[in-house]
Structure 1
Amino acid sequence: MKNWLKRFFLIASAGLILTFAGFYIWSQITYKPAAELFNSTNIQNQNEKNGYFLFQPENQQTSNGIILYPGAKVDPKAYAYLAEQMTQKGVTVVIPKMPFNLAIAGINKADTIISERDEIKNWFVGGHSLGGAAASIYAYEHHENIKGLFLLAAYPTDSSDFSNSNFPILTIYAEKDGLTTLNDIQEKKHLLSKNTVYYKINGGNHAQFGIYGEQKGDNNADINVFIQQDQIIREIDRWIQNIDS
């Protein structure tokens, strides 16, 4: 009996190890920044520090900061164009590197960032796809310290119900998105606050919320990636300015 139990636990342990190893390998196969990103940003000079990538406005102080949670298995650097363009509008942008490249495994990453950047008085938290869902949990649990939540091809989790609040939310979604569809956005609309701004990108798709090429399950976009990116940047900037005014 003892030998049988010993063999059972050895087999079970080996199974768990193999399962975790498989999961880990899967999690490390990420969507990398596309070539055009390196031609349009200084991302090659950007290094991870303290578990995140920091983009700051040059030669000016700012009190506004964005924390952007990446989509599942998307390299944080894939959002460098958005980050650099926002710094030109006077906003600091921080993109954390997530455990297993999944934001849902690092929901509280914003805590470290906020504690280390005392110069930022107004924090806006958000993310792309699964990163947006994770950010919604963080914003819901820390709404007293966050000025607003932005959702890029994303929607809140069922446990993050903002419907009875006036918490500022921006949700940007795309017409051709094959992963976060228009129906998905509509079905989760009841979780959003009374103070939600909606923006639809005509012709846009899921992958072009970052710059990392095509994504499995997505539809082809009808517009160039930089056209979509510039719309996202414009709407986030406009939303922040309206909250500040």
Structure 2
Amino acid sequence: MTDSAAPAAPAPRRRRRWLRWTLGGLGALVVVLVGGILIYSQVGVMGAEPGPLASAEADPGLTITDDGAGIVLSPTAGATGQGLVFIPGAKVQAEGYIATLADVVVDDGVTVVITKPWLNLAFFDPRPLSTFTDLAPDVSTWAVGGHSLGGVRACQLATDADALVLFASYCANDLSASGLPVLSLSGSEDGLSTPQKIADAKGELTADAAFVEIPGASHASFGAYGPQPGDGTPTADPAEVDRVIAEQLAGFLPRP
């Protein structure tokens, strides 16, 4: 009785062909994914509304400096040493928040750095908080905050700051034991970061986090970049929303 022949090992040529196909397929998938992200990040980008931006730029009490990494809003006089690093929402240009944040700069002496996220998406921006706080070296206490997706990214950077401010946003990481002062600003008519979503994520924040819902404000009410798909219909006057935001920030931001 003879032994049956052992299975032959795959031929080297066949193995090389399989490896080329596999690597080629993975390479094509990476190209498709990167291309898709690039296209998505550049389509439908929302810029600043010309009227509110022009009004803010004309305010003698506001100094605007574009540093490439971010836009620095400084009070022309009366700086308090308080600062806020503000991260924009997905596919919203930094300029779309200048008019909204101008009041707290001019009236309360707070310095604001509006970041310019890579690809207009905060999740793809790995830079640390110091990249932006270094743009205003005279500021001694810093809060980090952000709108929508920018707020989610702000939560990830929050332990390097003195406080956290959420603008129509909520955290995806647990900060409940961080001891950080937290202010959550939201809108009653927000169709994206809805009141229910904000309530559901409350457990990720510290027990003494402050929640302020602005009546009549929508998701886009926290910037000046025009209406946003999927949002609710705002009933609050934009100037009133800006005033409430400034008032809440002035009473919350840590002092040197």
Q: Which category of TM-score, normalised to the shorter sequence, fits these structures?
A: 0.7 to 0.9
Change in Cα spacing, 1:107 to 1:200, as seen in structure 2 (3 Å) is farther
**What RMSD in Å do the two structures reach over aligned CA positions?**
2.2
**Which of 137, 140, 164 is the aligned partner of 1:149?**
164
Q: Distance in 2 between matches of 1:192 and 1:104?
A: 20
**Quick check: 60-69 or 172-181, which moved more?**
60-69
Q: Is the 8 A contact 1:149 1:170 kept in 2?
A: yes
Aligned-residue sequence identity (percent) comes to: 28
- The residue matched to 1:244 in structure 2 has which SS? coil
- Contiguous gaps of at least 5 residues in structure 1: none
Q: Does 1:244 align with 2:242?
A: no
Equivalent residue for 2:38?
24
Tell me the residue number matched to 1:74.
92
Equivalent residue in structure 1 for 2:189, among 176, 201, 212: 176
* Structure with greater Cα Rg: 2
**Aligned-pair distance for 1:28?**
1.7
Q: State the alpha-carbon separation in 1 of the partners of residues 25 and 131 from structure 2.
A: 39
> Normalised by the size of structure 2, how large is the TM-score?
0.84
Deviation (angstroms), 1:82: 2.6
Could you tell me the TM-score, scaled by structure 1's length?
A: 0.87
- Deviation per residue, 1:84-112 (Å, 9 max, x gap): 22221101110111111111222544211
Alignment of 1:191 onto 2:209: no
Give deviations 1:200-227, integer Å, cap 9, x for gaps: 1111100111111111111111122222
Do residues 54 (structure 1) and 54 (structure 2) align?
no
Contact map agreement 1:107 1:134 (CA 8 A) in 2: no
Q: What 5-or-longer segments of structure 2 have no aligned partner?
A: 1-13
Q: Name the CA distance, whole Å, in 2 between partners of 1:18 and 1:148.
A: 39
What displacement does 1:190 show? 1.3
Question: SS where residue 131 of structure 1 aligns?
Answer: helix
Q: 1:167 to 1:12 in 2, by over 3 A?
A: closer
Alignment of 1:1-245 (within 5 A): 1=14, 2-3=16-17, 5-29=19-43, 30-42=45-57, 46=64, 48-88=66-106, 89-106=108-125, 108-140=127-159, 142=160, 146-157=161-172, 159-162=173-176, 164-240=177-253, 243-244=254-255
